Structure 1
Amino acid sequence: MKSYPGRSQFIARSSEIDYQGNATMPALVSYMQEAAWENTRSMGISMYELLERGLTWVLQRMRVEMFRYPKHGETIVVETWASGRERVFLHRDFRIYSLENELLGQATSVWLVMDVVKRQLVSVPDFISEIEVVPNQEPLSFAKGKLPQLQEPQFREQMPVRWHDIDLNRHVTNTRYLQWILYTLPTEVLEQQLQELDVIYKAESLLGDTVISEAGTGDTETIVLHKLSSQQTGKELVQAKTVWELKKLEG
């Protein structure tokens, strides 16, 4: 079987926009994940089909670049395709278009396969690796390398993990982590445009946990570094870097 690109349409709903009427970053990431689900379903390797084998998909990293955010009620097209493989890492790219074919944003992501009972990552099964990757365009640069560590947090919040934070894998859903990353920032930052997001998912968080969200400025005043960690274990759950269109960030 061959892997071909998929195209899915979405409408920016009122529950998915900010005070300016633009779709939020968590909403856009949710659209991209839904488009990926549809594309994998056409190949017989969607999450439901993996769950029947005791396996599941896990998002390990995602790098997003936005040029323009869709407005409330605007219909967008998300194109996605499997863009390559490296050992246990499965790469998938996305491009977001308006109906007029304006490129609104793009993203690249890294996926792994997890055993749902052992909660451990496994080698890519043959029924997935045997699918031939047929991208329709040049892949984006793979999301690789380390992100700079947050050294001196300026902002900190606690987030208890509740029922509606949990997804099909029975751990905190990826988009909830993104919301918690952004919730920690002051209003004067959130009022600016988020241009780039690079997030690494390192460990899962379960129902009943408490997540500590911390953030602080990076090498330049437009870069913010983020860390989510478990209050119970101290384990780092998520590391991220955001790039904003703003003049200055003050603690």
Structure 2
Amino acid sequence: MMKKIGWQGGRSQFIVRSSEIDARGLATLPSLLTYMQEAAWDNTATLGISIYDLLEKGLTWVLQRMRVEMFRYPKHREELTVETWASGQEKVFLHRDFRLYSQERELLGQATSVWLVMDVAKRQMVAVPDFITAVAVAPGRASLPFAKGKLPVLAEVAYEQHTTVRWHHTDLNRHVNNTWYLRWALASLPVELLEQAYLRELDIIFRAESTLNDTVVAAASPAFESNTYLHRLYNQLTGKELVQAKSNWKYEPTKLN
């Protein structure tokens, strides 16, 4: 049974920088995911359960899944607000939601995510500690539908890209940061798609770690659904699956920029 934990949400402001846009002058989805995770960091810091607080106890946060829906991509220099709040708990899975707003309070996008707590030394997931579940604040935001269920399996590979993990791909947890996986997944797609369409929906599951000097293979192929692609990232040496994702694209620039 799901346990509602009602953490207090937070708001963080961002300005889209030149290093975070594509050739059309719009923020990339990996950049927006970085904003969301920074906002989550801000919120957990105010509650005393940031990644730094966890690291002092030999633990850390790990993103397990994220489902994103975009309505409009912000432009270069546009200011936006990310609102985030913890929306529930199911066993070892902690849910956190996000909404992105323009200065005029236009809803640009929204996302729901699933987080786990990992033992840094053992590199294993652990039960949610009491000092996290004990954070008691008033609820007040309705949760988005949780990201659940299996994604279709990528059967035949149409596009593929290989990348060797370098130092700047890794983060505080000493493994590849999740936004790099997304960049590699998207980079494997045809340039024509990236130039002409907009990523409307993304469901991405992070299954395993990769570390320095690993070679990551990003494979993709069109799905049965129109303008939809399946993605699979795996370790070239071991064949171990690292990421599974599904992306949906729209050729409707008037609605997304």
Shift in alpha-carbon separation, 1:2–1:146, aligned structure 2, 3 A: closer
Give deviations 1:116-167, integer Å, cap 9, x for gaps.
0000000000100112364432100000000001111100010100010000
- Structure 1 runs of 4+ aligned residues shifted over 6 Å read none
Which sections of structure 1, spanning at least 5 residues, go unmatched? none
User: Which 10-residue stretch deviates more, 1-10 or 25-34?
Assistant: 1-10
Aligned counterpart, 1:19: 23
Paired letter, 2:46 = S
* Paired-residue identity, %: 63
Distance 2:137 2:248 in 1: 32
Counterparts of residues 106-121 of structure 1 (less than 5 Å): 106-121=110-125
Distance 2:86 2:215 in 1: 34
Matched, 1:164 2:182: no
Counterparts of residues 12-51 of structure 1 (less than 5 Å): 12-51=16-55
Asked if structure 1 preserves the Cα contact closer than 8 Å seen for 2:72 and 2:109, the reply is: yes
Asked if structure 2 preserves the Cα contact closer than 8 Å seen for 1:98 and 1:104, the reply is: yes
Match of 1:175 among 148, 173, 179: 179
Matched, 1:243 2:257: no
Aligned counterpart, 2:14: 10
TM-score, structure 1 normalization? 0.96
Asked if structure 2 preserves the Cα contact closer than 8 Å seen for 1:203 and 1:236, the reply is: yes
Paired letter, 1:57 = W
Give deviations 1:23-76, integer Å, cap 9, x for gaps.
000000000000000000000000000000000000000000000000000000
Asked if structure 1 preserves the Cα contact closer than 8 Å seen for 2:6 and 2:88, the reply is: no
Distance 1:2 1:83 in 2: 6
Match of 2:102 among 98, 104, 115: 98
Aligned counterpart, 1:129: 133
Counterparts of residues 38-77 of structure 1 (less than 5 Å): 38-77=42-81
Matched, 1:209 2:214: yes
Distance 1:231 1:180 in 2: 14
Secondary structure of 2:248 counterpart: strand
Paired letter, 2:151 = L
Secondary structure of 2:47 counterpart: coil
How many residues of Structure 1 are paired with residues of Structure 2 in the alignment? 247
Aligned counterpart, 2:255: none
Which sections of structure 2, spanning at least 5 residues, go unmatched? 253-257
Shift in alpha-carbon separation, 1:133–1:145, aligned structure 2, 3 A: farther
